[in-house]
A = this chain, B = another copy of it.
């Protein structure tokens, strides 16, 4: 398929895109038309259907739609004028092509993630990690494809996996460099810190907060999930369970960021910083993708509470 980002003014396209949003509007003259947001993994584009004739079949937000459209330029951007449209059949398209996706191979990242479980010395924590990441195939599939966030950092298919793996790499280095850190606990903290997001956020292509996500939040969702699996492991030490739960609970670092406890273990302190480092580097990099190559500054960014700058001179 030809990605939206590659189409240019004056071209025609007959291809399938995700309808990310559909609105029914009226012109000043009172004529009804549709405003449609098309999406594929390269991004989104604005489209209009001015003439609601027989060539335009019924469709809704969330449908994959096959369109016949011409690309025009309007107020500095491109606009797709759709002449014909029908909902595509399953099989006609590959849903993965319609969501932003990690640039790394997902299965390979996952295999790499498993090597960290191998490295864990503590048999209880290792067994727990295996129960999730090796034995529970439904968890495995969801985890692989999940986004780490609704927007901001790692907001793409495989994002949570990529972010977790990024953290694990730093964890490995820190545990090797500072022997006072408990490696197994630190790895477990990285592996599980955001598993609650699998239920807090719905899955691609539409990533939204779920009812449970808004009412309970990923920290507590994650804790409950972990408790359930721990219950399946006979003899799992209660104190160890509490230490692990504390890692998850405290990973936001401050009460006002939603952690009901501040870090009380050195591994929890470190995990909080590692989470921030990986997430902020990715966000920084991703924010500058939308900044004109000739500009050094990206303007005010809420996440960084200020203006940010490319490092070049």
A154 in contact (CB, < 8 A) = no
Smallest CB separation, A312 vs chain B (Å): 8
A307 to B217, CA, bound (A): 13
A3 in contact (CB, < 8 A) = no
B270 touches A180 (CB 8 A): no
Most-contacted residue by chain B among A72, A240, A277 (CB, 10 A): A277
Q: How many copies does the complex hold?
A: 6
B216 touches A242 (CB 8 A): yes
Which of B214, B243, B304, B306 sits near A311, CB closer than 8 Å?
B243
Which of B25, B211, B261, B313 sits near A217, CB closer than 8 Å?
B261
CB interface residues, A 173-228, toward B, < 8 Å: 173-174, 177-178, 180-182, 185, 211-212, 214-217, 219-220, 223-224, 227
A262 to B260, CA, bound (A): 12
Q: Is the interface of A mostly helix, strand, loop or mixed?
A: helix
B180 touches A281 (CB 8 A): yes
Write the chain B residue with the least CB distance to A298: B264
A311 touches B182 (CB 8 A): yes
Write the chain B residue with the least CB distance to A180: B285
B269 touches A239 (CB 8 A): no
Contact with B along A285-313 (1 / 0, CB 8 A): 10000000000110000001111110101
A70 in contact (CB, < 8 A) = no
B243 touches A215 (CB 8 A): yes
Smallest CB separation, A167 vs chain B (Å): 11
Contact with B along A251-264 (1 / 0, CB 8 A): 00001111111111
A276 in contact (CB, < 8 A) = yes
Smallest CB separation, A270 vs chain B (Å): 6
Q: Name 27 A/B residue pairs within 8 A (Cβ), A-sorted.
A: A24-B76, A26-B73, A26-B75, A166-B177, A170-B177, A174-B277, A182-B311, A185-B311, A216-B242, A217-B249, A220-B249, A223-B223, A224-B224, A239-B313, A243-B313, A255-B258, A258-B260, A258-B261, A261-B306, A262-B304, A262-B306, A264-B309, A265-B309, A266-B308, A269-B284, A269-B304, A274-B277
User: What 9 additional pairs, Cβ within 8 angstroms, besides A264-B306, A265-B308?
Assistant: A166-B177, A185-B311, A217-B249, A219-B260, A220-B223, A263-B304, A266-B308, A269-B280, A274-B277
Give 8 closest A-B pairs by Cβ, nearest first. Answer: A239-B313, A215-B246, A266-B284, A215-B242, A273-B273, A173-B173, A240-B313, A262-B306
